[in-house]
Amino acid sequence: MDVLSFPFICCKLLFFLSESSFASDTITSSQSLSDGRTLVSKEGSFELGFFSPGSSKNRYVGIWYKNMPVQTVVWVANRINPINDSSGMLVVNETGNLVLTSQNKSVVWSANLSKEVRTPVVLQLLDSGNLVLRGERDGGSETYLWQSFDYPSDTLLPGMKLGWDLKTGLERRITSWKSPDDPSPGNFTWALERQDNPESIFWKGSRKLTRSGPWNGLRFSDKVVFSRTLVNQTLSLRQRFVWSKATQSWELYTSVPIDQCDTYALCGAYGICIISYTPFCQCLIGFKPKSRGYVDWSQGCVRDKSLNYSRQDGFIKFTAMKLPDSTSSWVSKSMNLNECREKCLDNSSCMAYTNSDIRGEGSGCAMWFGDLIDITYFQDGGQDLYIRMSASELGAKGVPTTKIVVIVISTAALLAVVIAASYLVHKRRRNIVEKTENDQIQNIDLELPLFELATIVSSTNNFSINMKLGQGGFGPVYKGTLVDGQEIAVKRLSKISEQGLKELKNEVILFSKLQHKNLVKLLGCCIQGEEKLLIYEFMPNKSLDSFIFAQEICKILDWSKRFHIICGTARGVMYLHQDSRLRIVHRDLKASNVLLDQDMNPKISDFGLARAFGGDETEGNTNRVVGTYGYMAPEYASGGQFSVKSDVFSFGILLLEIISGKKNRGFYHSDNKLNLIGHAWKLWNEGMPSQLIDPCIQGSFNLAEVIRCIHIGLLCVQQHPKDMPSMPSVILMLGSETVLPQPKQPGYLADRKSTRKDYSSSTPESCSTNTITISELEGRGQANFAADYLAKNAGSVPLGFHVYQEPPVGHDPWLCYEMGQ
């Protein structure tokens, strides 16, 4: 080697080291980050660098999870100003500001520090995913001059804050990307409303989708923020909007649970959503539905008796409430509750009031003006709300206030004693009943084994959330693996479900006597202490609905597989009706209750709602209508009359869903207000039944065979049971080319809610949206609800309760919640 070249090589090596061996999580004002290089946080959790999203060629600076197999970006700097080549450079400039430049050194993006910083500044990527500029403020103390956590993109990471810094005016909000190829701000936003009574709201453009309810004094001081912390730092928990191939729209993924009552303004003005009742929407006491005939809950409720809008009015106390939309509200921290009441009475526009701060005995005053919107009843939690009512509604005309107080207190005290005594008696009876039920189940000649609880706990990793397969009205279902390697599915009865115990007993008794290749096999049960478990064979392909309603995987089920599933399901139902030791009506036949084994063979599951007939019985009647809206036969849903034809109707719905790839419940067509049955009937009469066929099976079917199946489906869903074929006849029709009778008009032709929202016909790829199962419809009227409410809220006035036999409205299709990675 030339002696003169050695110093040159050393210099080049030192230069290379100075450029590439600086601390991998930091750069200083003497360094820069060019396209192709990255920063990695100290523990290797996050990485920062240049990237191109999706199929885009544009370059952005972003932060993503370092160790995820698929690049998952959680923050983007230049969301609205991409770079179109690889000339980008991220640098801390001479004034201490963080800037992103390209080509001719023009600034593409900047941290926009308000003041120049002459002291040394360091840019560091932390293991929290926060990108920070560290430097000295006036006074010499080191601090964060800027941080990416103050400027979220589409992801809320642990430690981030959502909302307003009232000192600086900085707002932190989460906004979706426009598309997988474009991270610029999209149409969905999660933000905190800056108002007297702040609350977090999810927006689609300018439309509210759901809200948290106003904050109550336990969460904020000088900053209006929502923050998340992470106990286990080894997890990567995030809250973000992601793109769904199924719906071609953005979906919100989060660890916060949601139900139908979280849908904004679901029940309209003065309507209240109660998740445990059917329908979900009710009117508050003293109110009635605004619409006449069929109840359109979006129109809300109106008062039974008009207000005087003066001090002659009074208030009714409602407890356990999610407070109304606080857009038209006012808050005073200095008033107490009595002062709040007086001020509300003096203002004719004030419709409700409560404490704004529930710490201790409660303090502050919050008042609502105008209609009360988006109220929910919580069985556990919630707040008191005092709603303005007519004096005549309160029954207070001519009665002195003192006397009212005495009457109310006396009545409340007496009621409390009665409720307490009733509760103790009920609890004792329930314990006796539960013990009797358990003993009965264990003493029945089940013809199947009893599992030890320890075995099931071990097989499911102590019922780990990671082993959870789904959630039904009965309770959660978990995957488990026995010591011998056999995979199982474990249905766990919810401890608070009285009805579930009856359904479990029903399923054990019936299932132990059923054996058919198209029924899910019950392997055993476990009744030990409070735990009540059913153990089934595991179905690796889950349920039929997860295929036919998901556009990204629906092609897996071509027509031959779908026809195989149709025939297998029909044979399973015929076995229940005719060939089993008992004549059984399933009463909840639907796509989510048809499971698929590894070879895509169908197996009917979930016999908790089934009914067995004895002797020559062929039909029954009940005051307790159970099943799922969209699959119930008309005579059953309206009158409680059920028979084997009830399952035939449900099978017909299932058949049309398999062919169309669309759900009957929530089906939407832009040209009409028909449901799937009505749409199929319309196409049949117009001679265009082929338009019903799912595009996912195009090219894989015999047209005549599919049209024949549509014909059979329409025969099954005719209005009157006497016109419907039996299941043996259905199987004969499926397996032959005999001439079929012409179908008569089906039941439920129209979508019974003309204002129904546009639901997606397919399920987001990682979110299974199950149809709501109705456990009780009739026989649970206003008196029962009032008794339940009073049992939980002694001394409070019960909510009004109006029962209408219409299906509850679900969520907007975009909103889907599940655990983050």
User: Hey, which residues are catalytic here?
Assistant: 588
Among all chains, which residue has been given the structure tokens 């084997």?
644
For residues 761 and 99, give the distance between their C-alpha atoms in angstroms, rounded to a whole number: 45
For residues 440 and 534, give the distance between their C-alpha atoms in angstroms, rounded to a whole number: 15
Crossing angle of helices 644-660 and 703-716, rounded to 10°: 150
The structure tokens listed for 365 are 């005053």
- Is-contact 405 413, C-beta < 8 A? no
Q: What angle do CA 434, 440, 446 make, to 5 degrees?
A: 135
Measured in whole angstroms, how far is the alpha carbon of residue 530 from the centre of its chain? 28
- Is-contact 657 554, C-beta < 8 A? no
For residues 473 and 483, give the distance between their C-alpha atoms in angstroms, rounded to a whole number: 29
Strands (DSSP E) contained in 680-793 are: 773-774
The strand pairing partners of 534, in sequence order, are 491, 525
Tell me how crowded residue 27 is: count the other CB atoms within 10 A of its CB. Answer: 23
Crossing angle of helices 644-660 and 559-574, rounded to 10°: 170
375-377 and 271-273 beta bridge pairing: parallel
What does the radius of gyration of the chain's CA atoms come to, in whole angstroms? 31
The strand pairing partners of 182, in sequence order, are 179
For residues 74 and 129, give the distance between their C-alpha atoms in angstroms, rounded to a whole number: 8
For residues 404 and 732, give the distance between their C-alpha atoms in angstroms, rounded to a whole number: 72
Tell me how crowded residue 264 is: count the other CB atoms within 10 A of its CB. Answer: 16
For residues 97 and 49, give the distance between their C-alpha atoms in angstroms, rounded to a whole number: 18
Q: Which residues contact 391 (CB under 8 A, 6 or more apart)?
A: 308, 312, 313, 314, 397
602-604 and 611-613 beta bridge pairing: unpaired
The strand pairing partners of 202, in sequence order, are 190, 210
Helix (H, G, I), strand (E, B) or coil at 527: strand
For residues 57 and 685, give the distance between their C-alpha atoms in angstroms, rounded to a whole number: 51
Which residue type occupies 425? V
**Side by side, which strands form the sheet with 106-110?**
32-34, 89-92, 98-102, 106-110
The structure tokens listed for 443 are 């003493």
Tell me how crowded residue 313 is: count the other CB atoms within 10 A of its CB. Answer: 21
39-40 and 106-110 beta bridge pairing: unpaired
Cα maximum dimension of the chain = 114
In which region does residue 559 sit, left (phi positive, over 0), alpha (psi from -120 to 50) or beta (all else)?
alpha
- Is-contact 269 300, C-beta < 8 A? yes
- Is-contact 354 384, C-beta < 8 A? yes
For residues 229 and 530, give the distance between their C-alpha atoms in angstroms, rounded to a whole number: 33
Using the Cα atoms of residue 281, residue 286, residue 292 and residue 293 in order, give the sign of their dihedral: positive
What b/e string do you get for 49-72 counting C-beta neighbours within 10 Å, with b at 16 or more? bbbebeebebbbbbbbbbeeeeee
Among all chains, which residue has been given the structure tokens 């919050």?
366
- Is-contact 659 707, C-beta < 8 A? no
Query: Which ranges constitute the DSSP H helices of 526-639?
Result: 545-548, 559-574, 634-639
Q: Which residues contact 294 (CB under 8 A, 6 or more apart)?
A: 752, 753, 806
Q: Which residues contact 342 (CB under 8 A, 6 or more apart)?
A: none
